[in-house]
Chains A and B, each alone.
Chain A
């Protein structure tokens, strides 16, 4: 014969066990997501050993200007990873308190792809013998709507894949949205001169606007977007 208070204690213990198991499961899931998100923010390549000078084109909402600010930071060797590290640093500056162009903290750039210009496709020729490395022979095919070619040999198109979490939280307005895009374009131009054009995606898909105004479908020419000179020493 089990006493009543013993049954109560038993079921209380069972309840505690279930509760603890649920909490452990949820915490495990949360920790896993946190580690995954940190992993996606890491550059794909190992950073260089020493810091190197870079230039960030920082926007200022108060007067609608963009100024070039020198910084020192360690960068990876791979060009795509360098571009992403630069943009991560740019967005980190905007998320600091007291920023002149305040944006929500968090990762903004999922990936940066650098593609050689002009954009061409390849048509596989099955009847031709394969190449030395075993890959099938192919012929370059121009795009259906020819775009602008490179200004210099080796010119590249940077495709910046933004995170929807960043885009959805971006402040809305013609000026504030334009400043964000011009700041990105100017920072890439200042540090990676081989980039001649910049396009934007959001979660891998084209989107019309950043937050209702600035055009995300057009191809932006990479150029110097600085409107005011910085007082900081170079």
Chain B
């Protein structure tokens, strides 16, 4: 058997390279990577409920009833398209599971949405003013990446670009369906605390008659446009980069640091 004369040198190079590869992960800083995202999950938050009836539309229509009706229509259409739908409210009152009689707060609703890691979070509202559908994104300034620890009141900042893209997708679908559309930005609780592409979808009457907001054909047309847009959206959405968590600071070191920050 003839041995290749370059074999010892190649073996040495391989061993040196392998030793460096073994050290590399420890020395290099972890790189930002996209966070988890459930592309087939959509969160629907039918706003208000129970004693919080929202705005009064006309003489007898309550916002909480309209949002729940629209949420049920959307859930059916999305489930038929293979989505997993997470609803924060399925009855008049949004109750905390396991604690009967305790209402969900807006922060609880945001927590449910954030745990779902959904491809889209839609906060459903209704109004008697204007016509068609009003889409509102967060007013926060966009952040380049998602920090490991997020301030609760500005958690949406890293998702602003995705929310804007979702707004454009839904807007295009609604216009194609012949629904009057208004797109804007507004600070509506709890949209700024959501870690998903999030929009406030406010349903307004179809025309001058405020009672048309309860028209089943109209609601169905709006829901079908939204559900159709979400199919394409779920395929194209990309979560923001998530920054790696920093090394935790020892508690003792924190306690010994004076207010001025100098040791």
Contacts and interface: CB of A to CB of B under 8 A. Distances in A.
A123 B136 CA distance: 43
A31 to B, nearest CB: 36
Contact of A175 (B56, B129, B151): B129
Given A214-B187, A215-B189, A174 B259 contact: no
Interface in A195-234: 208-209, 211-215, 217-218, 220
Interface residues of A, number: 26
B148 to A, nearest CB: 15
A9 interface: no
Nearest to B258: A139
A172 B56 contact: yes
A61 interface: yes
A43 to B, nearest CB: 29
B69 to A, nearest CB: 18
Given A172-B54, A212-B48, A217-B153, A178 B187 contact: yes
Contact of B189 (A61, A139, A181, A217): A217
B125 A174 contact: yes
Given A141-B259, A213-B188, A218-B153, A174 B202 contact: yes
A132 interface: no
Contacts, number: 69
Contacts of A214: 186-189
Interface string A121-145: 0010000000000000001111001
A211 to B, nearest CB: 8
A149 interface: no
Nearest to A122: B259
Chain B contact-residue range equals 20 to 34
Given A173-B127, A174-B186, A178-B187, A139 B55 contact: no
Contact of A64 (B54, B105, B184, B192): B184
Interface in B100-134: 105-106, 125, 127-130, 134
Nearest to B187: A215
B54 A212 contact: yes
28 contacts: A64-B184, A123-B259, A139-B259, A139-B260, A171-B55, A172-B55, A172-B63, A173-B55, A174-B127, A178-B188, A181-B187, A208-B106, A209-B106, A212-B48, A212-B52, A212-B54, A212-B55, A213-B188, A213-B189, A214-B186, A214-B187, A214-B189, A215-B188, A215-B189, A217-B189, A218-B153, A218-B192, A220-B187
Given A172-B55, A212-B52, 14 more contacts: A64-B130, A139-B260, A140-B259, A142-B259, A145-B151, A171-B55, A172-B56, A173-B129, A174-B127, A174-B136, A213-B188, A215-B189, A217-B189, A218-B154
Interface of A: 61, 64, 123, 139-142, 145, 171-176, 178, 181, 208-209, 211-215, 217-218, 220
